[in-house]
Amino acid sequence: MSTSVVIIDDHPLLRRGVTQLLALDPDLEAVGEASDGDEGLRLAQELRPDLILLDLNMQGMTGVETLKAMRSRGIKACVVVLTVSDSDDDITASLRAGANGYLLKDMEPEALVTQLRRAAAGEVVISEGLTSSLARALTRDHGAAAAGLDSLTAREREILRHLARGESNKAIARSLDITEGTTKVHVKNLLKKMSFRSRVEAAVWAVQNGLG
């Protein structure tokens, strides 16, 4: 089955372009589009897509506000931010609000499709060049992460290394010969111990600290 995608962006040309791009890939299907956060939230609740492509700077609700509203309403879709902003604050705010990835609009169309396929598979997707920005923010905001590392079990450290490679829970479970449910529990525990709010934060921190 193809991955259903909802596009939320206030630029009609971008929405149309992404829709046409996805139509060329048999595994990705655009099922709806919205020009603002309110409409996007309604579509997300109505269509329950697998993946949501979300702009940050829109009239009315911002992308981060839209994302927070989605998560508060129990929408568990994979959300990838697609924006022009490479601001440290925007990156961290998006990930803290529950984004599964952060991509810049200047990337090549083929690269965007590849990243969306990876995101749909549960992998971490961050545009090249942004990991250093995110790492700076994590260093500033997560000084206790190193201390938390010492409290991890051997299995949790092993899973952290897999997160650093951008692997999904399913891939980690397969590599370690454990269930996906057990993997999720380990990920949840290590995020709590290291004061991270998302696996993306943990992955970037781990790479920057040589755990990849």
Domains of the chain by residue range? 3-129, 142-208
Q: Is the pLDDT of residue 136 over 90?
A: no
Helix residue ranges, H only, the chain: 12-23, 37-47, 63-72, 88-97, 109-120, 131-141, 145-150, 154-164, 169-176, 180-193, 199-208
Which pLDDT band holds residue 132 (cuts at 50, 70, 90)? low
Which pLDDT band holds residue 196 (cuts at 50, 70, 90)? confident
**What kind of fold does domain 3-129 have according to CATH?**
Rossmann fold (3.40.50)
User: CA 188, CA 197: separation in Å to the nearest integer?
Assistant: 9
Which pLDDT band holds residue 53 (cuts at 50, 70, 90)? very high
Q: How far is CA 79 from the centre of its chain?
A: 6
Which pLDDT band holds residue 207 (cuts at 50, 70, 90)? confident
pLDDT tens profile 161-184: 999 888 889 999 999 999 999 999
Q: Is the pLDDT of residue 149 over 60?
A: yes
Q: Residue 12, exposed/middle/buried by CB under 10 A (0-12, 13-18, 19+)?
A: exposed
Which pLDDT band holds residue 40 (cuts at 50, 70, 90)? very high
User: CA 92, CA 138: separation in Å to the nearest integer?
Assistant: 8
User: CA 140, CA 138: separation in Å to the nearest integer?
Assistant: 5
Centre a 10 Å sphere on the Cβ of residue 102 and count the other Cβ atoms it contains: 26
Closest CA to 189 of 151, 161, 141, 162: 151
User: CA 145, CA 202: separation in Å to the nearest integer?
Assistant: 9
Task: Among 3.30.230.10, 1.10.10.10, 3.40.50.300, 1.10.3720.10, name the CATH number for the domain at 142-208.
Answer: 1.10.10.10
